Amino acid sequence: MDGETLPSEWDFSCDLEVDYQSDEKASIVYSALAVDKELQPDKVKRKMLVSNGKLSVHFEAVEARFLRASFSSFVDVLTLATRTIEECGPGMEL
């Protein structure tokens, strides 16, 4: 094993970035999505970050099927949160 690296348990990953052009809007979506934890944290990890008006999300999983399911569910809720922000419009008050 000298010089060899062990394979990572988290072999599958993907990144998603959504530009809301506003830290406030990105933070609202972040807050809405942060309450939903991964159902199988031993198989999927998700990290979110807001910076420069963008919501960045990094997913890692032990298998492609877990990554796909987690990503798909997340995008569904992200779409709903984004549409809600859009419906509230530029005059929304927090």
The answer to whether the beta carbons of residues 42 and 87 sit under 8 Å apart is: no
Place of tokens 């406030």: 24
Please give the pLDDT value at position 93. 52
Q: Which two tokens stand for residue 85?
A: 């922000």
Query: CA nearest 18: which of 56, 75, 71?
Result: 56
Q: How far apart (Å, rounded) are the C-alpha atoms in residues 2 and 68?
A: 35
Query: CA nearest 46: which of 20, 22, 12, 19?
Result: 12
Q: Note the pTM of the prediction, 2 decimals.
A: 0.80
Please give the pLDDT value at position 52. 96
The domain defined by 12-88 folds into: TATA-Binding Protein (3.30.310)
Please give the pLDDT value at position 10. 81
CB atoms within 10 A of CB 6: 6
Q: How far apart (Å, rounded) are the C-alpha atoms in residues 14 and 17?
A: 10
Average pLDDT (66-77) is 95
